Amino acid sequence: MRLALALLTLPLLHAQDARLNTLLKDILIFDAHIDTPRYFLDEGYKLDEPHSYYELDLPRLRQGHAGAVLFGIYAQPQDFQPFEWLPRSLEVLDALHQEVQRNAAQIEFAYSAGDIARIRNSGKIAALASLEGGHLFAGSQRVLRNFYRLGIRYVTLAHFRNSAYADSMTDERKHGGLSPHGRDLIREMNRMGMMVDVSHISDEAVLDAVRTSASPVIASHSSVKAIAPIPRNMPDEIIRAVASKGGVICINFHAGYLNEAAYNVYIGNRPKRDAEIKAAGKNWEQVRRIQRRYFDLMPPVNVKELLRHIDHVAKLAGPDHVALGSDFDGISGMVPRGMEDVSKYPVLVKGLMDMGYNDAGIRKIMGTNLVRVMRENERRAAQ
């Protein structure tokens, strides 16, 4: 009986393998938020070298069939003095440009949705950039316009603390949502064709941003509060609001954002962990050991929990409104089992297949939803 069942399932397994291989030949896998560039600046991390630590390099991007990456540029407001925010962000962005240029045979900077298609057709990976936090451009729209010229294609309105533009979801409420400056900022971003990112900001600020923006907004790295009720995740009504204007929720891969029990261990240990990391200074190997030790204290989170968050948004708002925003290299190695780095993206393709998604839906989730939003921001700006 067991042998007969095994023989019956073989054709189905072969068909699934063939379908997966066909998808991976030309699917656009586009991750909306990866934080590797600070390592280029601080540690001399080389993009073209294979690594056994951190989550992104070119060999693993190739292995994962990645087509485009939006790299995050940031200086956490709690870690740097205000006078450091702008120069730090410019230096990290320059390090990204330098590393992309050094590997020009494999990766190229993209400035538009059209560039992504052209670069992929040439066999290269498209690199884009974002600013994570409205504090990074010194309150100047002129500075922001220069960032746009340097390739910044979205701005997160606030980070872990409030900005002049929006309340953070992890800080005391100051503006009651967006400030008047925040609304002005969004109008200017719309004019340029720069996407508005509503990750990290309060629910009230998200609603204000959706109402203010003439173009679709994104949540570049946020997960689902209905599954993991933690401060950084989005409730269903906010997800629906983002989707109602054509936007996308890009799911964060942080194990603690996917699972409440893992979050509680992470957040409970965070003060001790951060103190040890601060004491380690620039001993990066020691920093990684500290991060790993505290990650090992968290209950394991499987990639199926990540797929559950993706599926929730797709069922709630439709498959046009969910994408990937891993936060790789920004989550201190706290990754789900089975989704350890960028080489594992095909695991998500296979997981979506197993959950019953058709090829069109998988292509949207893995990349084309994000391109659609980017293109719509460009189109409206051109008008």
CATH number at residue 91: 3.20.20.140
Same domain, 156 and 286: no
Structure confidence by residue, pLDDT tens digits, 334-354: 999 999 999 999 999 999 999
In a domain, 178, yes or no: yes
The whole-angstrom separation of Cα 104 and Cα 91 is 20
- Across all residues in the chain, what is the average pLDDT? 96
Same domain, 76 and 188: yes
Neighbours of 63 (CB within 10 A): 16
Same domain, 284 and 171: no
Structure confidence by residue, pLDDT tens digits, 135-194: 999 999 999 999 999 999 999 999 999 999 999 999 999 999 999 999 999 999 999 999
Same domain, 153 and 296: no
Domain termination residue (choose one: 300, 330, 353) = 300
Same domain, 230 and 287: no
Which segments within the chain are labelled E, that is strand? Answer: 30-34, 68-73, 107-109, 125-132, 152-156, 195-197, 218-219, 248-251, 322-324
In a domain, 207, yes or no: yes
User: Which residues, other chains included, contact 168 with Cβ-Cβ below 8 Å and sequence gap of 6+?
Assistant: 158, 159, 160, 161, 162, 200, 201, 202
Same domain, 52 and 171: yes
What integer pLDDT is reported at residue 15 of this predicted model? Answer: 85
Residue matched to tokens 């720069």: 194
Same domain, 287 and 327: no
The whole-angstrom separation of Cα 103 and Cα 352 is 32
In a domain, 6, yes or no: no
- The parent domain of residue 277 ranges over 261-300
**What is the pairing mode between strands 125-132 and 68-73?**
parallel
Residue matched to tokens 């995740």: 233
Same domain, 272 and 128: no
Neighbours of 246 (CB within 10 A): 16
In a domain, 7, yes or no: no
What is the count of structural domains for the chain?
Answer: 2
In a domain, 278, yes or no: yes
Same domain, 271 and 369: no
What integer pLDDT is reported at residue 5 of this predicted model? Answer: 52
Residue 226, classed as helix, strand or coil, is coil
Nearest alpha carbon to residue 112 among 152, 75, 84 = 152
Same domain, 88 and 73: yes
Same domain, 176 and 225: yes
152 backbone dihedrals φ, ψ, rounded to 5°: -70, 125
Q: What angle do CA 39, 62, 124 make, to 5 degrees?
A: 90
In a domain, 214, yes or no: yes
In a domain, 5, yes or no: no
Same domain, 355 and 273: no
Residues of the chain predicted below pLDDT 70: 1-13
In a domain, 8, yes or no: no
Domain termination residue (choose one: 300, 330, 354) = 300
| CB-CB contact of 331 with 253 (8 Å) | yes
